[in-house]
Chain A
Amino acid sequence: MRYIFKFPDIGEGLEEGTIVEWHVEKGQSVKMGDSLVTMETDKVVTAIPSPRDGVIAAKFGKVGETVHVGSALVEIDMVGVEGEAAVAEVNKPEPVEEEGAGVVGTLEVAGNSAVLSASKEGVSSSSSDTNKAAKVLATPVARALARESGIDINSVKGTGPAGRVTKDDILRFVTDRSKPARTISSAAVSAPVSENLVEIEPLSQMRKTIARNMIQSKHNAAHMTVFEEVEISELDRIRKKYKEILSQNGIKLTYLAFIVKAVALSLKKFRALNAEIDMDRGNMIYKKYYNIGIAIDTPKGLVVPVIRNADKISVKEIASQIQEISDKARDGKLTLDEMKDGTFTITSYGSIGGLFAVPVINYPQAAILGVGRISKRPVVKDDAVVPGLVLPLSLSVDHRIADGGETARFVNSVMDYLADPVSIIMD
């Protein structure tokens, strides 16, 4: 029995990837979990594991070629799996496939429409409403074209014998798809259509992903934001001192490293801020690991790599890791592993500009901390006005998860650590 494994939606809302390296050859035996191919997407470079045991019967695509999610990657010959077992295998969901992910019907199983009698040849009952699990009947050229054009062949209406999807059907689908959308923004409607006034660019995969994630967050989470200021002269003194020392090891000690540590330690005290709500099952999920995502601005858009177990590692180690992931982010070399499983996010926009903000939560996390621009300001210390170094903080929380009191206590904790950095090593 042959099994065709398609490029899965690896969970980041990606639509396509580029083949970086093949790890298997035709004829090679593979076990479930073995790396088949390394794919580069707009967000990650990641190895795709085999979903089945078997022998590689065919590979689709060469290094450097773009593969769409749902398009065939490899054909695996599963020795000894035949008959009903084979049907079961076909229907088995792929381990990493998301619900509703596009599936190109390349399996060697014909849909119900294939058994139409000859006298009903070509009747149009074989349409797009057929169950997606039933593999569509299509010609080899139609399949190749669909793969090439990144089309889910199941969504194409077949007009060939017995509803077979033909080359013409794919070409027609492509033409229809590329027709300009009829809805235009009101601004565009009121303005005369001129190439000088607007520039229309197709959305990048990354921009699509960001847009989708932001809407999901705003739609689902009950955003509430608190603003605070903390005086960090002491932190500044310590940072300056150790910055010199660490720079000899090539480590750049930033305020952010301390903030990450302060946040991680505070999350341990106020678990709601490190939680996730599961409305469907009626559960609150308190996470006992503290992975702090750092939002990084790159030319292509925002990425959020993660500092793992920030509660357990030193500020020095955090600083080192921030440096590493920042470099990778800017070079576009982050892996999926480096971006997943965050429990809380810090967005540090102050270095670019801005005092306060209302950050959008990195859904489904509970909260996000915005770090504003540090400035020298008069502060009152011991009833005297003295120069101080002030760090503005903006914390957005999902009010479904954390109440106001818990949120305020969490912010206070973070501020305490930052105002008195020695306390970081005391806890």
Chain B
Amino acid sequence: MYDLIIIGSGPAGYVAAIRAGQVGLKTAIIEKNVIGGMCLNWGCIPSKSMMESVKLYQRIVKDSARFGIEGIDKKAVSFNWSKAIKRADTIVKRLTGGVEFLLKKNGVEIITGEAKIVSANSVLADNRLLETKNIIIATGSSSPKIQNSVEGLVVEPKKLFAEREIPQNIVVVGKTPVAIELAQLFSMMERNVTIVSDSSLIMPKADSYVRNFMSARLKKEKIDIVYNVSLTSTEGIWKDGILNLSGKEISCDIIINAGDRKGNIISSDIEIAKENGYIKVDEDCETSVKGIFAVGDVNGVSMFAHIGSAQGLHVINKLKGIETKLDISKLPMNMYTVPEAAQIGLTEDELKAGNYDYKVSEFPLSANGKAQTEGAAEGFVRILSDNKIGEVLGVQIVSQNATDMINEAAAYIQLESTVYDIAHTVHTHPTVSEVFMEAGFEAVDQAIHK
């Protein structure tokens, strides 16, 4: 009899498993593929690795002379996709190996195979019926399939980094930051990229100020966006490298399916309530069946790895009787666009809708010394604060390192800080993060370097 069986070893499942082992729960984790799930194997990690390769390539081509490096024959410089993937693979292997080690070290049993929930207290996997007190479903998500009969035309992100070559004309289906990230990645590889969004905007959860910045940036990069088109099938609209979208002809050798993801619903003999293609959960991530929890993408609360991990830890706390609160509004959102974007708390649209008495304090990276030396002075930090007591309500960053910088703002939000606390936090110089202090000054009174 296990205390806990976790199905799926992505960042939601494996983090919960390690923690469960640490606090003495007899735990097994079931994985049908490889440890680490989408994030480690085919998502976050390889895509960041590839992004770094492409950024380096771009800098060599575009920035090296300006930075004082001579002797580079730009015509001889080229980007080798499969060699860059080799580097990514090495990193992935090291990380997944590390996760496996940590699972074992903490006494978590790893079971390989497809799992099926038999009852609230039993799971079938690897031809074994496993008895357990609790179950965590952490099976992740995937984009709905695009109907297609042309081999190799539609590529799932999971298979993207297994591709040998990337053709010239690329269509990215999707509107999330992941879709934008992939579009920019290929654009920097000098491919022609078109984004197909099924709504009237991209990055729907981003603050509109951030979204507008990125839309302008994509335009500058000549990345085309087709709005309000739901591409569910290639039948009859793709022929000889041309995709016909409501009369608009787009050169298209490959379609990357990065559409809005839906939960990977696990097979179960008992009824577990679902909602909009996800497993329905309460604020403690418990499903309609007592003792069965769902964490990470599969519950549809968020598609971010770190939020899945936070949910996993929250469930373990709950199982151990430790009272914690999981407030999604206090968790940061990272977007690996170029430049990166990140935000936390309420967006300006939400503040307007909620009739908040707020102010916006913005500081541009163009006024920051370190950002200029890095040749990355594009972007800003915005602090949205309450007018009365100065509570930090929301923060948005666009910067080369926004996804790292947002964690400072996350601490401000988690600790319920005011703009006075930000202004009083002395930042090291020269750093890009100084923009926080400046925006803090701006919120309290006036920025120094603006």
Please report A residues at the B interface, Cβ cutoff 8 Å: 119-124, 139-142, 144-145, 148, 159-161, 166-167
Contact = CB atoms under 8 A, between A and B. Distances in A.
A408 B138 CA distance: 91
A225 to B, nearest CB: 53
Contacts of B416: 139-142, 166-167
Interface in B325-384: 325
B392 to A, nearest CB: 8
B387 interface: no
A122 B323 contact: yes
A122 B317 CA distance: 10
A155 B327 CA distance: 24
Contact of B388 (A122, A148, A159, A167): A148
Given A140-B421, A144-B389, 13 more contacts: A121-B324, A122-B325, A123-B322, A123-B323, A139-B415, A141-B391, A141-B416, A141-B417, A144-B390, A144-B418, A148-B388, A159-B323, A167-B391
Interface in B390-421: 390-391, 415-418, 420-421
B23 interface: yes
6 contacts: A119-B23, A121-B317, A121-B324, A124-B323, A139-B416, A148-B388
Given A119-B23, A139-B417, A167-B416, A144 B391 contact: yes
A141 B413 CA distance: 10
Contacts of B420: 140
B122 to A, nearest CB: 30
A142 B414 CA distance: 12
B322 A119 contact: yes
B322 A121 contact: yes
B324 A122 contact: yes
Nearest to B393: A141
Contacts of B390: 144
Contact of A159 (B317, B322, B325, B421): B325
B166 to A, nearest CB: 46
A144 B386 CA distance: 12
A120 B416 CA distance: 21
Nearest to B323: A122
B322 A122 contact: yes
Interface of B: 23, 317, 322-325, 388-391, 415-418, 420-421
Nearest to A167: B416
Given A119-B23, A166-B416, A167-B416, A141 B389 contact: yes
Contacts of B389: 141, 144-145, 148
A145 B388 CA distance: 9
Contacts of B23: 119
User: What is the predominant secondary structure among interface residues of chain A facing chain B?
Assistant: helix
A112 B389 CA distance: 28
A144 B385 CA distance: 14
A161 B317 CA distance: 13
A122 B391 CA distance: 23
Nearest to A147: B389
Nearest to B390: A144
B284 to A, nearest CB: 13
Contacts of A140: 415-418, 420-421
> What 5 A-B pairs are tightest by C-beta distance, nearest first?
A139-B416, A141-B416, A144-B389, A141-B391, A122-B323
A159 B23 CA distance: 22
A15 B402 CA distance: 47
Contacts of B415: 139-140
A346 B317 CA distance: 68
Nearest to B419: A140
A187 to B, nearest CB: 40
A124 B421 CA distance: 27
A121 B417 CA distance: 20
Contacts of A120: 322
A140 B390 CA distance: 10
A142 B391 CA distance: 9
A167 B391 CA distance: 10
A380 B421 CA distance: 82
A71 to B, nearest CB: 13
A148 B389 CA distance: 8
A168 to B, nearest CB: 9
B297 to A, nearest CB: 26
Nearest to A120: B322
Nearest to A165: B416
Contacts of A124: 323
A209 to B, nearest CB: 29
Contacts of A159: 323, 325
Contacts of A139: 415-417
A126 to B, nearest CB: 11
B387 to A, nearest CB: 12
A148 B387 CA distance: 13
Contacts of A142: 416
Nearest to A142: B416
Contacts of A141: 389, 391, 416-418
B418 to A, nearest CB: 5
Contacts of B418: 140-141, 144
B80 to A, nearest CB: 46
Nearest to A139: B416
Nearest to A148: B389
A232 B401 CA distance: 92
B271 to A, nearest CB: 33
A205 to B, nearest CB: 23
A148 B322 CA distance: 32
A161 B414 CA distance: 10
Contacts of A119: 23, 322
A60 to B, nearest CB: 11
A161 B421 CA distance: 19
B368 to A, nearest CB: 26
Nearest to B418: A140
Best-surrounded residue of A122, A141, A161 (most CB of chain B within 10 A): A141
B431 to A, nearest CB: 23
A148 B390 CA distance: 12
A194 B382 CA distance: 51
A387 B417 CA distance: 79
A124 B325 CA distance: 13
Contacts of A148: 388-389
B380 to A, nearest CB: 24
B357 to A, nearest CB: 13
A121 B325 CA distance: 10
Contacts of B324: 121-122, 161
A142 to B, nearest CB: 6
A19 to B, nearest CB: 17
Nearest to B417: A140
Nearest to B421: A140
A299 to B, nearest CB: 32
Nearest to B412: A140
B10 to A, nearest CB: 24
Best-surrounded residue of A119, A121, A140, A159 (most CB of chain B within 10 A): A140
